[in-house]
Amino acid sequence: MQPITSRDNAKVKRLASLHKRENARREGLVFLEGERLCTDAFGSGIIPSEVVITEKNIPWAEKYAGGAEITLLSDDCFKKIAATVNPQGIACIVEQPVLEKEIPFRGDGNDIFAVLEDIQDPGNLGTIIRTSDAFDFTAVIMSPSTCDPFNEKTLRSSMGSVWHLPLVTCTMEDAFAFFAKNGIDSLAMHLKGEDLKEADIKLPAAYLIGNEGRGLTDETSAKCTRLVKIPMPGKAESLNAAAASAITGYVLSSKRR
Amino acid sequence: MQPITSRDNAKVKRLASLHKRENARREGLVFLEGERLCTDAFGSGIIPSEVVITEKNIPWAEKYAGGAEITLLSDDCFKKIAATVNPQGIACIVEQPVLEKEIPFRGDGNDIFAVLEDIQDPGNLGTIIRTSDAFDFTAVIMSPSTCDPFNEKTLRSSMGSVWHLPLVTCTMEDAFAFFAKNGIDSLAMHLKGEDLKEADIKLPAAYLIGNEGRGLTDETSAKCTRLVKIPMPGKAESLNAAAASAITGYVLSSKRR
């Protein structure tokens, strides 16, 4: 197999375009660049539709690419499709998992959900997804204006967890309707809430995390069945959204039977 | 007062040089750009040695700069000293707090310390400092090869907390000698540890967090008085360092009398 050497080749142009997240999203695809992001996905059972490599990575592709179509690029062409200055020469295209509209429910009395209202920082989103995976949450529920879980920064900070658990995009109204129907307690992190340690929380439960700058909207807080807070005796006015999420996730997870 | 309009002005050149973190560090200074970073510091009692503004920010400086020397730059000159494309026109220079070599100790039976062995991600470091501040830790102890707490990303993610509590740089040996002398339990986060929820931990205590890639070194884990783990029933292999740190900080803080 000969590598493509022309930067004007139609395939190279298409790959370069797919590396722009908005283009890949429009086609329902995710472009993963670098060995780490690719193997995170493959290790989670994701089968790529196309693997793109430079010649030195042929052995890697033979080991990992399965039956996927392989596109071989010259080092120079790979630079055109890569975001980094010194790319590893490994990328792949996978189908973007459909962001579920229906929220899954196990019904074993141990369901936990993280609900994100307009989280904007991709690193926070990835870390929250990783933590939700670690604690075996049923799903991560995101408001429609939460940032894209398949952008590169979120993929990196999720360390593969975006592929491990259901990610659901729905309105807050739909989420609360689901909680009401299934008897799921909804917890708002709120400065006026009761101490998380002392609150008599029972599962199934969902906890809601607001936007980094302004927190939960008053409208959403008012709909929650319970307001809780993490006591902060120090000088910091608030916790990072992903840090608060980790603490609440741990506390809820430790209530499982 | 007339603004400096020449990019070749000696003062402009010096400010541009100080915006490179290594130059400011060499002089024992921190360059803060943008209103947020400046007011985070001022609100924590830090007095700038110099405030640098564009003309439109004169009212801001009159309100916040106190008795500091004010340097007025044209918009064009400010762009030369700024890292952002559309700078706000607000910056200041403050003396870098001395990273203590002596670890402080309150001795009231409630001391908690975070100990960071070679944390490399500036965002993680800032978030850990913020969490340590929120839970009123006595100090954050950093190994000499932990990343710089006064680089811009760490400053941003610490949300002002770098100015709120002692940051100590010392060797792991010195830290363990201090723990032994003062009867401080040292906890290593370790996959073979006992469940954090069930561990009979008493304060004063320190918990150790390792490098993002490889965790704590075996040498350091072996020196700890206790190995603990955060149970993770899901598929993620590990937690983000700042997330694990938040959970442990919360659990230790909840043991205070």
Q: Cα–Cα distances in Å, from B26 out to B31, B118, B247?
A: 12, 21, 35
Arithmetic mean of pLDDT, A129-139: 98
pLDDT band for position A85 (50/70/90)? confident
Task: Give CATH 3.30.1330.30 domain extents, chain A.
Answer: 10-95
CA distance A221 to A238: 17
Contact flag A164-B235 (C-beta cutoff 8 Å): yes
- Ordered strands of the B112-116 beta sheet: B167-169, B139-142, B112-116, B205-209, B185-195, B226-229
Task: Give CATH 3.40.1280.10 domain extents, chain B.
Answer: 112-253
Arithmetic mean of pLDDT, A29-33: 96
**What count of CB pairs under 8 Å joins A to B?**
124
pLDDT band for position A192 (50/70/90)? confident
Token pair of B93 as six digits? 């220079």
Residues in chain A closer than 8 A to B230 (CB atoms): 134, 250
For residue B122, say if its preceding peptide bond is cis, omega within 30 degrees of 0: no
Chunk chain B into consecutive blocks of 10 residues (it has 257) and report each block's average pLDDT, rounded to whole numbers.
91 94 95 95 94 96 89 95 90 91 94 97 97 98 96 96 96 97 95 92 96 93 96 95 97 94
B166 part of contact set with chain A, CB < 8 Å: no
CA B255 to chain centre: 24
Give the gap in angstroms from C-alpha B223 to the nearest C-alpha of chain A.
27
Residues in chain B closer than 8 A to A251 (CB atoms): 250
What's the pLDDT at B257?
86
B231 part of contact set with chain A, CB < 8 Å: yes
CB contact at 8 A, A189 and A221: no
Contact flag A136-B233 (C-beta cutoff 8 Å): yes
pLDDT by residue (tens digit) across A41-65?
A: 999 999 999 999 999 999 999 998 8
Residue ranges of A 34-53 with Cβ closer than 8 A to chain B? 44
pLDDT by residue (tens digit) across A1-18?
A: 789 999 999 999 999 999
A164 part of contact set with chain B, CB < 8 Å: yes
- To the question of pTM greater than 0.90 for the whole model, the response is yes
**Looking up tokens 């599962």, which residue turns up?**
A203
Cβ neighbour number for residue A103 with a 10 Å cutoff: 22
A243 part of contact set with chain B, CB < 8 Å: yes
Contact flag B157-A130 (C-beta cutoff 8 Å): no
Residues in chain B closer than 8 A to A232 (CB atoms): 134-136
ipTM of this complex > 0.90?
Answer: yes
A211 part of contact set with chain B, CB < 8 Å: no
A161 part of contact set with chain B, CB < 8 Å: yes
Dihedral (CA of B209, B215, B217, B222) sign: positive
pLDDT by residue (tens digit) across A194-238?
A: 999 999 999 999 999 999 988 999 999 999 999 999 999 999 999
What's the pLDDT at A113?
98
What's the pLDDT at B165?
96
B133 part of contact set with chain A, CB < 8 Å: yes
Contact flag A243-B127 (C-beta cutoff 8 Å): yes
* Bridge partners, residue A53, by sequence: A72, A90
Structural fold of domain B10-95: 60s Ribosomal Protein L30; Chain: A; (3.30.1330)
Q: Which helix or strand (DSSP H or E) is residue B112 part of?
A: strand B112-116
Let me know how long chain A is: 257
Residues in chain B closer than 8 A to A197 (CB atoms): 254
Give the gap in angstroms from C-alpha B31 to the nearest C-alpha of chain A.
22
Instruction: Give the best residue of A247, A252, A257 to mutate against chain B (max B CB count within 10 A).
Output: A247
Instruction: Give the best residue of A237, A250, A256 to mutate against chain B (max B CB count within 10 A).
Output: A250
Token pair of A59 as six digits? 């052995």
From the list A134, A250, A253, which residue is nearest B236 (CB)?
A134
Residues in chain B closer than 8 A to A244 (CB atoms): 246
What's the pLDDT at A257?
86
Q: What is the CATH number of domain B112-253?
A: 3.40.1280.10
If phi > 0 it is left, if psi is from -120 to 50 it is alpha, else beta; for residue A206 that is beta
A195 part of contact set with chain B, CB < 8 Å: no
CA distance B123 to B134: 16
How open is the CA angle A252-A195-A131, to the nearest 5 degrees? 30
Residue A101 pLDDT more than 80? no
Residues in chain B closer than 8 A to A245 (CB atoms): 243
Radius of gyration for chain A, computed over Cα atoms and rounded to the nearest angstrom: 21
Is residue A203 classed exposed, middle or buried when 0-12, 13-18 and 19+ CB atoms within 10 A define those classes?
middle
Percentage of chain A lying above the pLDDT 70 cut: 100
What's the pLDDT at B157?
96
Contact flag A235-B161 (C-beta cutoff 8 Å): yes
CA distance B171 to B85: 39
